[in-house]
Amino acid sequence: MTDIHCHVLPQMDDGSRSAEESLAMLEALAAQGVDCAAATPHFYADENSPEEFLDRRAAAAEKLAEVWHPGLPALKLGAEVCYFEGISQCKGLDALQIEDTGLLLLEMPYCRWSRRMLQEIFDLQLRPGMRVLLAHTERYLHWLQPETWEALLEWGVLNQCNASFFLRWQTKRKAIRMLREGRIHLLGTDSHDMDDRSPRLEAAWAVLGQKEREILKENVKRFLPGWEENGK
């Protein structure tokens, strides 16, 4: 199993509050069978430039490295980039892609998206070596029309869903159907701590049938090449 979205870097955002909590989160992921995880702290363009963010991320990663030990998931550095006007023209954005993937984890606003917002996504998708991965796609379902989703898929935009989408009885069937239809590509815990937002990937995996598990395994091979080897 892989976790493509978690807030495990200490004191970086509203996620882990200390290196010790980060260690507990990684140990929980390891116990659930996760081999590789992406550390994706929030990036807000109105708070940091990409360069400032990368400096902060490097410092947080150093703190985590001090308590890291063998047996924990291999960690890839990235960001959960919050949409902003003009994002497709932002310099330095390539450095915020998830390490060794070419994927930009993009958090969109919780509202009906304008044509301009959609065009920004498509323009990002056209940048050489970049592919957009929408963060926790299930949160946008209420706002977007079917034709919007079709356009996103046609453009090759990928969808990440949180494990919780598969665990709530209200959404479990819809989540499984979307996975079977190729509308969910990768899973993440979006875990922030060891309290209310702890890692729950194993629980989501347990509700999946063999067919759904094979889909996710194939997607990892396709979109995260080398992650299985990095996790061993």
Nearest-Å Rg of the Cα atoms of the chain is: 17
Domain count, the chain: 1
How many contiguous H segments (helices) and E segments (strands) does the chain have?
Answer: 8, 9
- pLDDT mean values, one per 10 residues, the chain (232 residues): 96 96 97 96 96 98 94 96 97 95 97 96 97 98 94 97 96 97 97 95 95 96 81 43
What integer pLDDT is reported at residue 229 of this predicted model?
Answer: 60
What integer pLDDT is reported at residue 231 of this predicted model?
Answer: 47
> What is the DSSP pairing of strand 74-77 with strand 2-6?
unpaired
CB 40, CB 76: distance < 8 Å: no
Q: Say which CATH number the domain at 55 has.
A: 3.20.20.140
What integer pLDDT is reported at residue 133 of this predicted model?
Answer: 98
- Give the range of the structural domain holding residue 193, as residue numbers without chain letter: 2-230
What integer pLDDT is reported at residue 227 of this predicted model?
Answer: 79
pTM above 0.95, yes or no: yes
Helical residues (DSSP H) of the chain, grouped into ranges:
19-31, 50-65, 115-126, 146-154, 172-180, 201-206, 210-223, 227-230
3-state secondary structure of 223: helix
What integer pLDDT is reported at residue 48 of this predicted model?
Answer: 94
